[in-house]
Amino acid sequence: MIDIQNIDFSKNAGGLVPAIVQDDRTLQVLMLGYMNAEALEKTLQTGLVTFFSRSRNELWTKGETSGNYLHLVSVDADCDADTLLVRAVPDGPACHTGTMTCWGDAVPESTGFIRYLETVIKGRHKEMPEKSYTTSLFNAGVPRMAQKVGEEAVETVIEAVKGDKERLLYEASDLVYHLLVLLESQGLGIADMEQELRKRHR
């Protein structure tokens, strides 16, 4: 985790540095706040993202009134050590207006949903709740999961050849879901695919 002593709080008036908050699951940028050394220290100690309110001139923990806390995952400083990137898991909307981000409709709520779905699948794999379709796939084993990926791939191809965009999108979504389940069963995920694709990129 970050060392507070390495952050340059002296560049801006009031000893504040900008803190950009990013959803650790979807990678959506949620909001921008400001932290002083005390706010950063409290964030690291409690695991709940805390800012310094310039209007109230005091510390405030995001969610203390709304219940929409930001659960800290990591904090990193930029190259000049005067701006923070905070990755967190939100309990609900990050904006006081009720939208998921402080940019409202400028960032569609579907953005990053595949990554969010991956976290749901991981949760199902860990908890194995009864009456869950995902649980039933894990229970059935790799051959069944692989079979479903094959079936959905064929159905995706068929709809593409037919030119039915609505059905193509439906089947492609099924394909991605089942592929994520199969990857999870092997301890792999989206990040691993991204790394592999990056290696191939020219």
Percent of the chain whose predicted confidence (pLDDT) is above 70:
100
Q: Which residues of 67-104 are buried (b: 16+ CB within 10 A; e: fewer)?
A: ebbbebeebebeeeebbbbbbbebeebbeeeebbbbee
Which pLDDT score, from 0 to 100, does residue 9 have?
Answer: 92
Confidence of residue 123 (pLDDT cuts 50, 70, 90): very high
Strands 29-35 vs 84-90: parallel, antiparallel or unpaired: unpaired
* Closest to 20 measured CA to CA, from 62, 80, 83, 70: 83
154/147 Cα distance (integer angstroms): 11
Which residue segment(s) compose the domain that 191 sits in?
113-200
Which pLDDT score, from 0 to 100, does residue 134 have?
Answer: 98
Percent of the chain whose predicted confidence (pLDDT) is above 90:
85
Mean pLDDT of all residues in 92-105: 90
Which one has a higher pLDDT value, 138 or 5?
A: 138
If one counts every other C-beta atom within 10 angstroms of the C-beta of residue 155, the result is: 17
CATH number for the domain spanning 88: value is 3.10.20.810
Instruction: Name the domain boundary from 74, 103, 132.
Output: 103
Handedness of CA 85, 87, 88, 93 (dihedral sign): positive
123 located within any domain: yes
Which pLDDT score, from 0 to 100, does residue 110 have?
Answer: 81
Statement: residue 184 has pLDDT above 90: yes
The per-residue pLDDT for range 23-76, each reduced to its tens digit, is 999 999 999 999 999 999 999 999 999 999 999 999 999 999 999 999 999 999
Statement: residue 124 has pLDDT above 90: yes
55 located within any domain: yes
202/191 Cα distance (integer angstroms): 19
List the single range of 90-94, 168-172, 174-178 with lowest mean pLDDT.
90-94
Instruction: Name the domain boundary from 43, 72, 103.
Output: 103
Which pLDDT score, from 0 to 100, does residue 147 have?
Answer: 98
19 located within any domain: yes
Structurally, the chain folds into a number of domains equal to 2
Q: 10 and 99: one domain?
A: yes
